[in-house]
Amino acid sequence: MSIQIVRDKNQIILKTKRTTYAMEMMYGRFPVHLYYGKSSPKPELAITINHRSFSPNYEELGRDFCPDNNFMEFPFFGNGDYRATALRVRDLKTGCDVTDYTYRRAKKFKGRCDIPGIPCGDADEHTETLEMIFDDEVTQSELHLYYTLFPECDVISRYFTLINKGDHDLQIEKCMSLSLDLPASNWELLSFHGAHNAERQTQREPILHGVRRIASRRGASSHHSNPFIMVADRKTTEERGDAYGFNLVYSGSFLDEIEVDQNGTLRVMTGLGDENFSMLLTPGEQFTSPEAVMTYSDKGLGEASRNMHRFTRAHILPPEVFEKRPVVLNSWEAFYFNIDEKLMIDFAKGAKECGMDMLVMDDGWFGERHKDNAGLGDWTPNAQKFPRGLTSFVENVRAQGVKFGIWIEPEMVNPNSDLYRAHPEWAIQAPSREPLQSRHQLVLDMANPAVLDYLKTTYAKTFAGVHIDYFKWDMNRHMSNVYSNALPPERQKEASFRYMLGVYELFRWFRAQFPNAMIENCSGGGGRYDLAMMKYSTQIWASDNTHADHRTRIQYGSTFGYPTSVMSCHVANHKNSCEIPRRLEYSYRVALGGPLGYEFNVLAASEETKAAMKKQIEEYRTYEDLILGGDFYRLVSPIETDCYAHYFVSEDNARILLSFLQNVGDPKQKAYKLKISRAILNATYEDLRSGKLYSGEELRRGITVTADPEDEYAKMFYFVKKS
């Protein structure tokens, strides 16, 4: 077992393949964190702080134990730990927020506990869980802390259950799934801020005294921030040094809270926070937090990322993940809303001629959806555009030799729709106030079971007998005026959390109803690029920004926390829809950051261009498995330079796909040395693109590449081991 409960020392030690995590129940009662880092036979408390410094102590234990000066495993509110708190529970009988949870016992077991309604990592034969049980006599509540180990990926997850065992109501006022105190050091924070069209921009900053909050209050994990963060030493590079990664398996509003205290101790937390969430627990009720995951590597940011990639592939993504993905042709940037049966059949023919596998019919096929101001909610095909209905249309698409995918946006409604006219109360809106619109739409209240019933019934009817291989599930606005007609006043702060439960329920329904259809997730691009969405979605549309130069930064940032197999990338011509991308080859090479697709009007392409695309796709098929399942290495950062270089490598190091991409413009630097640390020293590799031979040693030392206008400023090498 990787979990050791050392009863005589009151210690608990968790071991993954290459890391150790340790804690001690001080005075048999307070869980104090000892160590989290590379495997250690004897994890001891890195530092003991016992000065009192205006921090309260438990008098009966002597003056030396102040929670405020210790590495607390799971800090709760009110017992003199003045740092940010993980759990705040209000006793509604007295209105008091003070709790004092005392450790009672711990047990370990194979597998894991499920989290009701919320996706979490799948257990496999290596998965084990530690459960620690605490209680608080005054509130009569029981706290269960869970640590689930995914040892093969060096990932440990954290979540808790709070049970109201008393006779009066309690309210959870702050909910963080994970809290970790680390010794003072020169820590830096990596976070991934952004905006619509500019998701996951990488930012690295020193962590100084005070509190830093990375949060979304939008009801979605959002383009603007991402729950994934990293903490690394100032000297940590891609290949070397301490690196921690943290993430929350959740798609709604979240909070990552980072604090450095009076002693220089760093506290890192991730969870639901306190601004958009509270949870009422009536007697007998219990609540389980979403799962937070953490990883550590002493081999730098690159290896910590690869731990997260392995974890996501093995424990999060739907099982079809390693199967071949369709190379899709999407109608959006080609025609926007102007689609109909005839055009889509022609488009399907075009897709086939270019060697693509699937036509994805995007927005515009249903209700009175001719622009973005109407139709959402009315999920029946528009009779003028599809006079024979969907079944025969899709058969016709398939007769062209391609599969069929379709766009939906279940969570939304336009005020100009039959659905809204029939059920205005189903849209999220505050009582007696005009709701704010965004893209002319309102958010349906997914916390309302009647809304879920409507959606299930409607989609079941619309798609009955229609052969669909792929859904693109979109979500194009964030929540405002949050209020649920389905909840009583005292539960209104649960509305956006219960909304997510409804969304997850609908995802599960889709997967059960259409078990052979893959789901591609989208939220105005990559606005819900999170682990919970990845539980249901094999791919996520990385960004609405399909400008190849801008994409490099978005794609780079996305690789820190998430595997490339998820990152849907299209060769497209951002906002110049009808035209063929001027830099077709460059766009293709950028799009090789993830599963490939195309999104422009291929009907306007010359025979030569069609042949070029066909060749691209044939070539892509030869190394697709590396992009979907290989190990990924970042080499040159497009944030620090105007180039982006990375490589994929097979598990046995025999095949390596190296890409070097340079934004057009005035290059800051012309030549880069790209070192392939995974090349086998004594082997000979052939670059199948140029036919040139390289020794493994040469690749390890690094090959020099220069930005070359002749080669569209993009170089690719596909090294295959010869001997």
Residues tagged active-site: 474, 544
Assess contact for 446 and 499: CB atoms under 8 A. yes
**Least distance from C-beta 414 to ligand GLA, angstroms?**
12
The β-bridge partners of 703 are 674
Given the complex with ligand GLA, which of 290 and 364 has the nearer CB atom? 364
Single-letter amino acid, residue 229: I
Tell me if residue 496 falls in helix, strand or coil: helix
Q: How many CA atoms lie within 13 A of 525 on its CB side?
A: 23
Nearest to ligand GLA of 543, 559 (CB atom): 543
Question: Can you tell me which of 341, 362, 469, 687 binds ligand GLA, judged by CB under 6 A?
Answer: 362
The structure tokens listed for 271 are 């969870």
User: For 609, what's the count of Cα atoms within 13 Å in the CB-facing half-sphere?
Assistant: 18
Phi, psi of 715 (to 5 degrees): -120, 145
- Judged by CB under 6 A, the number of residues near ligand GLA is 11
Interface of this chain with ligand GLA, residues 624 to 663, rule: CB under 6 A:
none
Q: Does 474 bind ligand GLA (CB under 6 A)?
A: yes
**Closest CB to ligand GLA: residue number:** 363
In the bound state with ligand GLA, the residue whose beta carbon lies nearer, of 524 and 557, is 524
CA 138: distance to chain centroid?
38
Which segments within 92-186 are labelled E, that is strand?
Answer: 102-110, 128-136, 141-150, 155-164, 170-182
Among 332, 393, 459, 588, binds ligand GLA (CB under 6 A): 332
Q: Is 133 helix (H, G, I), strand (E, B) or coil?
A: strand
Q: Which is nearer to ligand GLA, 156 or 542 (CB)?
A: 542
Rounded to a whole number of angstroms, the minimum distance from the CB of residue 533 to ligand GLA is: 14
Instruction: By CB under 6 A, tell whether 123 contacts ligand GLA.
Output: no
Burial category of 9 from C-beta neighbours within 10 Å (exposed 0-12, middle 13-18, buried 19 and up): exposed
Beta bridge partners of 148: 129, 157
Residues belonging to the chain: 723
Q: Which is nearer to ligand GLA, 88 or 200 (CB)?
A: 200
C-alpha torsion 236→237→239→241, nearest 10: 0
Give 146 or 420: the residue with its C-beta nearer to ligand GLA: 420
Mask for 376-415, x = binds ligand GLA (CB under 6 A): -------------------------------x--------
With CA atoms as reference, report the closest residue to 653 among 611, 699, 585, 692: 699
Closest CA to 513 of 440, 457, 591, 474: 457
Compare residues 31 and 593 and give the one whose CB is closer to ligand GLA.
Answer: 593
Site of tokens 């040693």: 697
Q: Of 333 and 712, which CB lies nearer to ligand GLA in the complex structure?
A: 333
N- to C-terminal Cα separation, the chain = 40
> For 185, which DSSP code?
S
Q: What are the residues whose beta carbons fall under 8 Å from the beta carbon of 567, sequence distance 6 or more?
A: 539, 540, 542, 555, 558, 559, 593, 594, 595
CB of 252 to ligand GLA, least distance (A): 19
Q: At what angle do helices 607-629 and 584-591 cross, to 10 degrees?
A: 20
Q: How far is the CB of 360 from ligand GLA (least distance, A)?
A: 9
Measured from the CB atom, is 289 or 476 closer to ligand GLA?
476
Which positions from 667 through 706 interact with ligand GLA, judged by CB under 6 A?
Answer: none
Q: Which is nearest to 171 in space by CA: 399, 622, 387, 490?
A: 490
Q: Provide the residue type at 46 as one letter.
A: A
490-529 positions binding ligand GLA, by CB under 6 A: 522, 524-525
Contact 207/260 with Cβ under 8 angstroms? Answer: yes
Q: Which residue has the tokens 């595997």?
A: 563
Pairing assessment for the beta strands 292-297 and 210-216 based on DSSP bridges: unpaired
**Which run of H or of E encompasses 272?**
strand 266-273
Give 148 or 476: the residue with its C-beta nearer to ligand GLA: 476
- Residues 529-558, one symbol each (x = binds ligand GLA by CB under 6 A, - = not), give ------------x--x--------------
- Written as one letter, the residue type at 476 is N
Q: Which is nearer to ligand GLA, 67 or 525 (CB)?
A: 525
Instruction: Write down the least CB distance from residue 163 to ligand GLA, Å.
Output: 41
In sequence order, what are the beta bridge partners of 682? none
Shortest Å distance, C-beta 92 to ligand GLA: 43
199 part of the interface to ligand GLA, by CB under 6 A:
no
Instruction: Return left, alpha or beta for 654; rule: phi > 0 is left, psi -120 to 50 is alpha, else beta.
Output: alpha
Q: Is 375 in the site for ligand GLA (CB under 6 A)?
A: no
Nearer to ligand GLA, 15 or 369 (CB): 369
* Cα distance between residue 14 and residue 268, in whole Å: 19
Cβ neighbour number for residue 392 with a 10 Å cutoff: 14
Return d(Cα 89, Cα 279) in angstroms, integer: 9
Residue 599 beta carbon to ligand GLA: minimum distance, rounded to whole angstroms:
8
Sheet containing strand 3-6, strands side by side: 3-6, 11-15, 19-26, 30-38
**Shortest Å distance, C-beta 162 to ligand GLA:** 37
Q: How far apart are CA 415 and CA 406, in angstroms?
A: 23
Burial of 337 (0-12, 13-18, 19+ CB in 10 A): middle
Single out the residue of 100, 131, 136, 363 in contact with ligand GLA (rule: CB under 6 A).
Answer: 363
Shortest Cβ 540–ligand GLA spacing (Å):
11
Write down the least CB distance from residue 541 to ligand GLA, Å: 6
- Judged by the rule CB under 6 A, the positions of this chain that interact with ligand GLA are 332, 362-363, 407, 474, 476, 522, 524-525, 541, 544
